[in-house]
Amino acid sequence: MICAAPKNPLRTSTRAVLARERARLARELLADCRLCAHDCGVNRLAGETGLCHAGAEARFFSAQTEVSDELELMPTFSVALSGCDLRCDFCITGQESWNPRAGLGFSASKIAEQAKAALTHGANAIMVLGGEPTIHLPAALELVSVLPESAKLIWKTNAHGSAQARELLDGIFDVWLADFKFGNDSCAHRLAKTPDYGRVVRENLFWANEHSELIVRHLLMPGHLECCWRPVAEWLAENLPGVKVNLRTSFWPAWHARRHRELCQPILPAESHRAFDLAQRLGINLIQ
């Protein structure tokens, strides 16, 4: 059992100390890796790889200040770690997100210096994302251990992590920015090669809402309003009323999207309007 962080804001350990301790534990757990819900159990320290194909050492493909996220978070210094445990055919950064060997070797101290400089020059927060950062928890936690205690930290995730990963993350990040991509397991399996998607994501969203500030993202895909957005919106309205939701309509046929006939075009205005009308009728707390 991983020791969870105290919920009292006047905790005895600083975030940096917690992160340093958790980083060591997370690295040890790579010997039987179960950080994501695929539950592979491979020994990454010995060179074995699971469905994400990640090894023991993290790499990153971007570290820069960005202004393309939610308005309340911008500008954000974002660190994108290479590799992911999902295989979304429509991934906008598919080449790097599917490949844990893309980009450069990760150095927590060097990235931290860049992040501190970005904060000095006006960045509001530091975001760790991917790919999917959950598969690189040792590196992500090591980075947090050398960041300023006062920095606002955002965990951008596909919400497909395991209970083990959640325990390691407890008390570390201020905001969880979580994707809720699919409204049913059939679409998740066909478009992202991921079984049992809905149960895992819902479990992670419940947890994140209790342990941090939660913002949910949904990318509206052409032809997926009824099968994906409607179930997602209805579930959020019933189970997480008031949670902030960013409904994105900027889909374009990236990466391998053209393998699927309905994904060969952007969102039509009529479909976008219907999606926002549904959100309004359900009382979804939409943000930009």
Strands 59-66 and 76-81: what pairing? antiparallel
pLDDT digits (tens, 9 = 90+) for 88-140: 999 999 999 999 999 999 999 999 999 999 999 999 999 999 999 999 999 99
* Residue 238 parent element (H or E): helix 230-239
The span from the CA of 135 to the CA of 130, in Å, is 9
| Residue 83 CA from chain centroid, whole number | 12
pLDDT at position 218 is: 98
160 residue type, one letter: H
DSSP structural state of residue 134? G
Q: What are φ and ψ of residue 27, in 5° steps?
A: -65, -40
CATH, range 15-286:
3.20.20.70
> Which pTM was predicted?
0.94
pLDDT digits (tens, 9 = 90+) for 188-210: 999 999 999 999 999 999 999 99
Q: What is the mean pLDDT of residues 238-257?
A: 97
Spell out the domain ranges in the chain.
15-286
DSSP structural state of residue 256? T
Assigned token pair, 93: 């950064």
